[in-house]
Amino acid sequence: MTAADSGALADVLDFLPCATPRQWFEQALDNIPTLLVDHANCEKKAAGTALSLMFRYVNYPVLLQRLSRLAREELRHFEQVHAIMETRGVEYVHISSSRYAGELRKLVNAAEPQRLVDTLLTGAIVEARSCERFNGLVEVLPADLGEFYARLLDSEARHFRSYLNLAERCAPAELAGTLPARLEELLALESQLVCEPDSHFRFHSGPLAQSTPAA
């Protein structure tokens, strides 16, 4: 990694209040097909979220420009993950979503303008956690996969910063002062979700409970 990449990663790690449990990374090595399938799904969902925001909030030029680029990059990442799956003979099957994103979405306020701000803050959190997990996967996966995840670090860190900056820029004056407290609330739930045992292994799940199946 370059010095710039290291600095971006340091920002991400400082942002997150907790690290992914080591057990999750150990389980990733035993669940590579599931990891790749769910990662591909996450990239598609990330692109879809960016496009949905672009359609809903057409009066924010900076949001339209940044999320247009982000959506293209997320789709490119999907293509790359899918290519790796084909090379490894991993079948692209339907699997259930983790509770991670769904539980975070429950905290998103349904009323505007808080809805937009909450959605952008949640996007920043998801991208930050993805970046942190990419970094950890570099150390535990086979060399070819480790190199792939190392290449994704820079763009994922950039996506995190873009969402966080957009939340700050798009928040109206009456909400600007509430962002730190709101972010702390969202991060508290996120930390709980990545640390508590989960029933199924997924890219954003907590560690798999030992007595439950992987998929």
CA nearest to 41, candidates 87, 95, 122: 95
Helices (H), 3-98: 3-15, 22-30, 32-56, 61-88
Residue 189: band (very low, low, confident or very high) from pLDDT cuts 50, 70, 90: very high
Residue 214: band (very low, low, confident or very high) from pLDDT cuts 50, 70, 90: low
Strand-pairing partners, residue 208, are 198
The chain-wide mean pLDDT, for the chain, equals 94
Residue 5: band (very low, low, confident or very high) from pLDDT cuts 50, 70, 90: low
Question: Quick one: pLDDT at residue 210?
Answer: 73
What is the arithmetic mean of pLDDT over 30-41?
98
CA nearest to 120, candidates 170, 177, 194: 170
* Burial category of 61 from C-beta neighbours within 10 Å (exposed 0-12, middle 13-18, buried 19 and up): exposed
Cβ partners under 8 Å of residue 75, min gap 6: 43, 44, 47
Tally of CB atoms within 10 A around 36: 19
Cβ partners under 8 Å of residue 72, min gap 6: none
What is the arithmetic mean of pLDDT over 181-206?
97
Which of 52-66, 79-93, 197-211 has the lowest average pLDDT? 197-211
Question: Quick one: pLDDT at residue 4?
Answer: 42
pLDDT for 109-125, tens place per residue?
Answer: 999 999 999 999 999 99
- Write the CATH number of the domain with boundaries 21-195: 1.20.1260.10
Cβ-contact 212, 127 below 8 angstroms? no
- Output DSSP code: residue 20: P
Question: Quick one: pLDDT at residue 1?
Answer: 38
Cβ-contact 108, 115 below 8 angstroms? yes
pLDDT for 130-161, tens place per residue?
Answer: 999 999 999 999 999 999 999 999 999 999 99
Write down the pTM of the prediction: 0.94
What is the arithmetic mean of pLDDT over 156-185?
96
